Structures are given as C-alpha cells and as structure tokens.
Amino acid sequence: MAAYNKFHCFVADVCNKVHNLASDTCKVVLTNSAPVASNTVIGNITQVANGNGYTTGGTAIASPSSSQTTGTQTFSGNNVTFTASGGTIGPFQYAAIYNDTAASDQLIAWFDYGSALTLQIGDTFTVAWNSGASSGSIFTMT
C-alpha cells in the first residue's frame, strides 16, 4: 500500500468550505516530482507527459462519497486505472488528488509508491483505495 500524505492547505480548505467531497469532481494525477506538503494547487505539481493513455489534468474518481459515523468522516470512491497505449507513461512515483471543481483546483493529498514506475504499452496501474477490489476508502478524518 502506498503511503498517504495530506497537503497542509486541505485542512484549512475543509474549514473554509472549499470542498464538498460528496459531489465535487476530484481527480488523480501522476508525477515523478515529490509533492511538498505546502503545495496548494494542481499547478504546483509537475505531471507526467500528456499522451499514451495519460491526460494532463488526470482522471476523475468515479462514485465519490463522503460519510460520517461517530465523528469519523470517510471519503471513498472507485479505484482509478491508467493504461499505457501507443507509448509509455512515466516514470512516476506519486499519485496526487485534487479538487477539479474548486476554483483554483486545490490539492487534497498524495500517495507515495516508494520508487519510480514506468508503464509499458498495454500495462495498467491502478490506484486502489485502501486495497479495495474496485473501490474503497481514500482517507478518513477524525
């Protein structure tokens, strides 16, 4: 499982009503440049090259949901899969989540996969939330 890290701005953005994680469009982007916790918007992230199955701006997390039980809020969604076609995707080591609905595309969190990966033609890479088969909890807040 990749290591979860939150961007510092996410805490303030939640308090300032920037995010509605139950309905906003959140996307996943791939990068090989280590994100910095003080980054605030998607423009701070150097994404992998556009093409070969990767689109600049990333891929949306389908079926997002946000629910609270006994003071713990959970953000969940479908896994996100990238497939290389016509060439390679990468290298990349990090998958970052941002809110594409928010006015400035605010960053939320990133996952560190520990080493750089490159997808060859036909290879797929799935960002599997909480090791879910097709979906799972992306993170919780208490």
Q: Can you give the pLDDT at residue 2?
A: 87
Residue that the structure tokens 């807040």 belong to: 141
Q: Within a domain: residue 140?
A: no
Residue that the structure tokens 């003071």 belong to: 71
Q: Within a domain: residue 66?
A: yes
Q: Can you give the pLDDT at residue 138?
A: 94
Q: Within a domain: residue 138?
A: no
Q: Can you give the pLDDT at residue 34?
A: 97
Residue type, 84: A
pLDDT along the chain (142 residues), means of 10: 90 94 96 98 98 98 95 95 97 98 96 97 95 88 90
Residue that the structure tokens 């959970």 belong to: 74
Q: Can you give the pLDDT at residue 133?
A: 85
Q: Can you give the pLDDT at residue 46?
A: 98
Q: Which domain holds residue 76?
A: 3-131
Q: Can you give the pLDDT at residue 1?
A: 62
Spell out the long-range contacts of 63-71 with Cβ–Cβ below 8 A and sequence spacing 24 or more: 63/135, 64/21, 64/22, 64/23, 64/24, 64/26, 65/22, 66/20, 66/21, 66/22, 71/142
Q: Can you give the pLDDT at residue 68?
A: 94
Q: Within a domain: residue 113?
A: yes
The number of domains in the chain is 1
